[in-house]
Structure 1
Amino acid sequence: MAYCIQADLASQISDADLLLLADDDGDNAVDAAVLVKVFADVADKIDGYLAGRYSLPLNPVPEVLRPLAVDMAVCQLYARRPNGVPPHRQAQYDAAIRYLEKVAEGRITLGPDDPAGNPPAQNQLELDPDNPPRIFDRAKLKGF
């Protein structure tokens, strides 16, 4: 399942840059096969991080994954070219991977539409009103 589509790339790169990055046959048109492969690779990477925590495929897809997928796809498109990945694109990719690692560890969620729901905070204190009275209350310990 693709987490982004070609139209989503417009938020990160211009049409001219997309053409330079995804026109392998030189016909002056973006090769759909290139984008399909890049989107599939990105989806596989994202699924790899989410698989241990979520039942895949995600339905609906949490919106927070779309910009991560776009950043990863743009970086992968640049990586296909001899000039390599610009540093700011690599930084965006690295940030997306760090986010996915935190999701996989359970340190953060996928936002309000997280399919796993919002688990209770760890170390949460639970009070039981049916507990017996204290053996050593404040009055008995007075003077110690």
Structure 2
Amino acid sequence: MTYATLQGLTDRYGQDLIVMLTDRSDPPAGTVDADAVTRALLDTDGVIDGYLRARYVTPLPEVPPQITDIALSIAVYKLHRYSPEAKIKDDYEGAIRALREIAAGTIVLTAATTEPTPSGGTGARITDRERPLSAENLKGFI
């Protein structure tokens, strides 16, 4: 399961743009290249999972709306072979910024069940043993 879909890309950016970005045949076929979209979506999932892995169990079992929005912005950016227009680039940079904030805990995903349970440990271990010198056995010396 990917965080975004071809249908989501088409709904947000329009069929014409997706065809223009994916139809790389010569002469152009005028259709969406599903393989190119699948590659971009899988790359997008890898980027998202890479950022979220520190705070959440990936892949996310339930896709929050924030992640779908981020995934669409990254995927359409990845579909560009050449420099994208400013809006696409700004959306991509905003998506990466949002992923950094999610990883840092500044932004919390709406699907709260995806956070891993804390172990409660800090990594420091203390062994409590009987003290060889105590107030009772040092009577007369103090």
TM-score of the two chains, using structure 1 as the length reference: 0.73
DSSP 3-state at the match of 1:53: coil
Which residue does the alignment assign to 2:85? 86
Cα distance in 1 for residues equivalent to 2:86 and 2:78: 13
Q: Give the residue type in structure 1 aligned to 2:105.
A: G
Q: Give the residue type in structure 2 aligned to 1:72.
A: I
Cα deviation code 1:20-68 (max 9, x no counterpart): 1011122221111100000000000000000111111211122221011
RMSD, matched Cα: 1.7
Which residue does the alignment assign to 1:21? 21
> Structure 1: any 5+ residue segments left out of the alignment?
120-144
Percent identity for Structure 1 against Structure 2: 31
- The number of residue pairs the alignment matches comes to 114
Cα distance in 2 for residues equivalent to 1:67 and 1:60: 14
Q: How much does 1:12 deviate?
A: 2.9
> Structure 2: any 5+ residue segments left out of the alignment?
119-142
Cα distance in 2 for residues equivalent to 1:104 and 1:2: 19
Q: How much does 1:90 deviate?
A: 0.5
DSSP 3-state at the match of 2:48: helix
DSSP 3-state at the match of 1:108: coil
1:114-129 alignment, distance < 5 Å: 114=112, 115-116=114-115
Q: How much does 1:94 deviate?
A: 0.5
Which residue does the alignment assign to 1:52? 54
DSSP 3-state at the match of 1:110: coil
Counterpart pick for 1:69 among 65, 68, 71: 71
Cα distance in 1 for residues equivalent to 2:94 and 2:106: 15
Over 2 Å off, 4+ runs = none
Cα distance in 1 for residues equivalent to 2:64 and 2:70: 11
Cα distance in 2 for residues equivalent to 1:10 and 1:33: 15
Structure with higher helix content: 2
Q: Give the residue type in structure 1 aligned to 2:9.
A: L
